[in-house]
Amino acid sequence: MKLYKFEDFVRLANLFYTSLGIEPYALGQSTKWQIFCRYLIFYFQIINLSSMVVCEVTYVFLAFRNDNNFLEATMIMSYIGFVLVGIFKMLSIWRQRSLLTTFVQELLHIFPQTPEQQRLYNLDIYVRQCTRVTVCFSLLYMLLIWTYNLFAILQYVIYERWLMWRVVGKQLPYTMYILWDWHDHWSYYPLYALECIAGFTSAAGQISCDLLLCAFATQLIMHYDYVSRSLAMYEVKTRQKFRDPRKAMAEDMKFLRKIIAYHANVLSLSELMNEVFGVALFFNFMASSFVICFVGFQMTMGADPDTLFKLFLFLFTSASQVYLISHYGQQLIDASFNIATAVYNQQWYNADIGYKKMLVLIAARAQKPVELQATKFVLISRGTMTDFSECEVKNRSSKCVVMQSDKTKRTPSQDVMDFESRIDRGFAIWTIVLSRRV
């Protein structure tokens, strides 16, 4: 049997964090050269990404002030939301590094190390599941960001140089305000490279945090499942034949004390995970509701097939991110609640009265399941994804009805009204998500 390591869960997340110059947690000593390189990469990417955001915000401001390029400005607003989420997630993990280190050390302490322990935990199943999810999610995000990064240059190569259908000209991957005319200038090439780096940085900042959360949530689910199996499969010794009642009772209570301490430790780790990732998740869900609305607004306004493919990929990836986090939140709820079912399925009716009373306490605690929380305001489960989906489907349906009934040429004022309705829809989605907490 292959012996798995803790790093098998977090390898891909750490790879993205390394590309950002971030060490999310410290388990060993780093040399001065390694620290210098990390700081150099981190500050370069943060400064580059922040400068791109400033240029995009300037473009949006000028577009609204001058009442032109309105549709382009709304698309850039979705880019700004995407970038802000990436920056916030990077800075959140960077700020919580000491707390995250403590969390990882505690998680390592209960990680099954020997082949026998890993067999009891069914560790191979959880490693394979985590690997499939993280690899597929990483590929989806990389497909998204490099589609946007290379879209302009691919259009130029295919349509102008190869097929010679139309003149594309030099374009940057992301529209923003630039102080000088870069079209016929050597600065076009470094600008293109810097925008591609900024796009990758924002995507890696998001995905690395999500992958780390998935890896830790998978391990906590594994530990809750182990507690459930241990309780359900335990045979009470008290009334077994040819056993000393006192020794059997002592053995039962020893098992129960051990499993209660283990359960309490996993519960405390769940609270610590919420403390580490809660603020980042809150900002992620808040920004995603508006990003999805902005992208949906663009798709309903009509676009060429190439741009529609980009928008659909953006919308699908944003929705997949919300679903992924919601899915793991639901799995945590189910795994922690299953402990109460495991207590009921145990042969408790053969146990001593003191043993039964302690089982009641375990079951009572398990009936208040562990929840993945985006701070104290939002509880994350599949119901969160349902709220997002229902609001977006209703909004898209009403929008299609309006567009079918409106046969006249659209005016800029109508576009503004549609855009304002999307903003209201974003607030509506967020209000419904928050109401689930109440």
Who's near 48: CB < 8 A, 6+ residues apart?
Answer: 194, 197, 198, 201
Range of weakest confidence among 83-92, 243-252, 277-286: 243-252
The model's pLDDT over 27-82, given as tens digits with 9 standing for 90+, comes to 777 788 888 998 999 999 999 999 999 999 998 888 888 877 777 787 888 888 88
Question: pTM for this structure?
Answer: 0.84
Beta carbons of 381 and 334 less than 8 angstroms apart = no
357 falls within a domain: yes
What is the residue range of 258's domain?
6-403
Name the more confident of 429 and 180: 180
169 falls within a domain: yes
Number of compact structural domains in the chain? 1
368 falls within a domain: yes
Averaged pLDDT for residues 96-113: 91
The one-letter amino acid code at 302 reads: G
Helix (H) or strand (E) holding 293: helix 245-300
Provide the pLDDT for residue 243. Answer: 65
Reported confidence tier of residue 134, pLDDT bands at 50, 70, 90: very high
Instruction: Give the residue carrying structure tokens 């969160």.
Output: 384
Provide the pLDDT for residue 2. Answer: 80
Name the more confident of 301 and 342: 342
Distance between CA 282 and CA 118 in Å, rounded? Answer: 34
261 falls within a domain: yes
Distance between CA 38 and CA 28 in Å, rounded? Answer: 15
| Mean pLDDT score across all residues of the chain | 81
Residues of the chain by 3-state class (helix, strand, coil), percent to 5: 80, 0, 20
DSSP string of 411-430, one letter each residue: -HHHHHHHHHHHHHHHHHHH
Instruction: Give the rounded percent of residues in the chain with a pLDDT score beyond 90.
Output: 28
Q: Is 378 helix (H, G, I), strand (E, B) or coil?
A: strand
Averaged pLDDT for residues 310-316: 85
97 falls within a domain: yes
89 falls within a domain: yes
The model's pLDDT over 345-388, given as tens digits with 9 standing for 90+, comes to 887 777 788 888 888 888 888 888 888 887 777 778 777 777 66
218 falls within a domain: yes
176 falls within a domain: yes
Range of weakest confidence among 198-207, 214-223, 265-274, 282-291: 282-291
Q: At what angle do helices 245-300 and 70-95 cross, to 10 degrees?
A: 160
